[in-house]
Amino acid sequence: MTVAVTLASSATVRDEPRATDPIEPLAAAFAARAAEYDRVGAIPSESLRDAAEAGLFALTVPVALGGRGAGVTETTAIARRLGAADPATTLILAMTWLQHANIARERRWPDPVYRQVARDAVEGRGLINALRVEPALGTPHRGGLPDTIARRSADGWRLSGRKIYSTGALALRWFSVYARTDEDTPRVGYFLVPAAARGVRIEETWDHLGMRATRSDDVVLEDVAIPSPYAVDLRTSEEWRAASQTSLAWSALVVSAIYLGIADAARDWLVRFLHARQPSNLGKPLAQLERMQVAVGEIEGLLCASGALLTDAALKTDYAVVRGASEPALVKHLVTENAIAAVQKVVALVGNPALSRANPLERHLRNVLCGRVHSPQGDSVLQSAGLAALRAAAN
């Protein structure tokens, strides 16, 4: 099924998709395929094609370059809705949304290079993701230098290294590779690598419990030649420590919205189940039991609180409202944990059928648990928030 959607240009901020944007047909198409893509662990190619035709690759590409120019509030709302339909497809898309939002805002890339990548997104030809995580380094959020090395060549750079957990690798046109230079004083940053470049190899290592269709495989770079302008954002380690908090906020909020969408989907399935299920000894649907009504109310409370946190944090980001540096990460942690708790409550209410592959709840449970692995992770978030509070009290 192909869904043609023309997304209108946006204002800077909207707290939900506009009624004129036919996201629902796209969400329905995503949802219809999600279970099968999860079962076989394959890239959701048809759903990504629909997203390309809908203009969603360019959701956060600046309006001046032909994109929608969406802010984090709108992007978060769309991520939540599509995440309820198919979180794996949505996470692949979200990586591209985050890249374009950050590149356009920070304006460090050479203009002709970014225009090329943006044009690919606008024309539905190209997804991009930052490849950062490595076997030895883990996530750069916890510090350390990457093992991926960029060496000077006569006409540019040559990259060698291995990246793991590369979301959507098989579907990407561009890799933004996090690496360090071989200079006496190394610089660290991003090198733009065409996915089809000679020396790039994808090893299909992804075989996880959840988010299986993201195909977050290993990407191996073996002496990959790139031209000098494709060294798009190199900085010293000190400069990276002072990196934009806005970029971190975008990532924390958009990614956590996808996992809240999974909880929305679980809640929706539960409501339908409770209305349809009528045990013979009860003589009425389970939805009429007070115990079930209270339990659904508890789930609604988790979703309501999380939605409010997301919207508030996104609006503050879009309007550059001053706040604590740890707030977006703390919101990500709270929203993710609330989403997990909500899905677990749904599973406990339904019982044995919830864990059957005939129903989507077991997939929702597997998928929502993956929310915890995204950076920043819970322990570092809570430590940072705790230290900030203790330091504020001491001053």
pLDDT in tens, 295-351: 999 999 999 999 999 999 999 999 988 677 789 999 999 999 999 999 999 999 999
The verdict on 107 and 158 lying in the same domain is no
Helix ranges (DSSP H) in 107-210: 111-122
- 126-140 residues labelled b (16+ CB within 10 A) or e (exposed): bbbbbbbbbeebebb
Residue 163 domain-assigned? yes
pLDDT in tens, 255-310: 999 999 999 999 999 999 999 999 888 889 999 999 999 999 999 999 999 999 99
Q: CA separation (Å) from 232 to 105, 106, 126, 229?
A: 14, 12, 18, 6
Tell me the average pLDDT of the chain: 91
The verdict on 121 and 134 lying in the same domain is no
Q: What is the pLDDT of residue 325?
A: 74
pLDDT in tens, 158-187: 999 999 999 999 999 999 999 999 998 899
Alpha carbon distance 264, 260 (integer Å) = 6
Average pLDDT over residues 242-253: 86
The verdict on 98 and 166 lying in the same domain is no
Residue 393 domain-assigned? no
Q: What is the pLDDT of residue 393?
A: 84
pLDDT greater than 50 at residue 390: yes
Domain boundary residue among 207, 238, 269?
Answer: 238
Place of tokens 């003589």: 283
- 221-242 residues labelled b (16+ CB within 10 A) or e (exposed): beebbbeeebbbbbeeeeeeee
3-state SS assignment for residue 19: coil
pLDDT greater than 70 at residue 143: no
CATH code of residue 83: 1.10.540.10
Domain boundary residue among 125, 154, 171?
Answer: 125
pLDDT in tens, 80-130: 999 999 999 999 999 999 999 999 998 999 999 999 999 999 999 999 999
Q: What is the pLDDT of residue 21?
A: 56
The verdict on 217 and 176 lying in the same domain is yes
**How many residues comprise the chain?**
395
Confidence of residue 243 (pLDDT cuts 50, 70, 90): low
Q: Please state the domain count of the chain.
A: 3
Q: What is the pLDDT of residue 180?
A: 95
pLDDT greater than 50 at residue 145: yes
Q: Do strands 149-153 and 174-181 pair parallel, antiparallel, or not at all (unpaired)?
A: parallel
Residue 330 domain-assigned? yes
CATH code of residue 208: 2.40.110.10
Q: What is the pLDDT of residue 245?
A: 84
Domain boundary residue among 98, 125, 152?
Answer: 125
The verdict on 327 and 208 lying in the same domain is no
The verdict on 107 and 142 lying in the same domain is no
The verdict on 120 and 192 lying in the same domain is no
The verdict on 250 and 288 lying in the same domain is yes
The verdict on 361 and 294 lying in the same domain is yes
Q: What is the pLDDT of residue 142?
A: 61
Q: What is the pLDDT of residue 5?
A: 44
The verdict on 215 and 155 lying in the same domain is yes
Which residues have C-beta within 8 Å of that of residue 107, sequence separation ≥ 6? none
The verdict on 140 and 111 lying in the same domain is no
The verdict on 228 and 295 lying in the same domain is no
Residue 1 domain-assigned? no
Average pLDDT over residues 52-73: 97
| Stretch among 56-65, 79-88, 260-269, 383-392 having the lowest mean pLDDT | 383-392
Q: Quick one: which of 360, 380, 307 has its CA closest to 338?
A: 307
Handedness of CA 26, 45, 87, 39 (dihedral sign): positive
CATH code of residue 367: 1.20.140.10
Residue 209 domain-assigned? yes
Residue 4 domain-assigned? no
pLDDT in tens, 2-38: 344 444 433 334 444 443 457 999 999 999 999 999 9
Q: What is the pLDDT of residue 20?
A: 40
Give the structural domain span for 69: 23-125
Tell me which of 159 and 384 has the higher pLDDT. Answer: 159
Residue 227 domain-assigned? yes
Residue 47 domain-assigned? yes
Q: What is the pLDDT of residue 324?
A: 75
**Full-prediction pTM beyond 0.85?**
yes
Q: What tokens appear for 301 in the block?
A: 């409370």
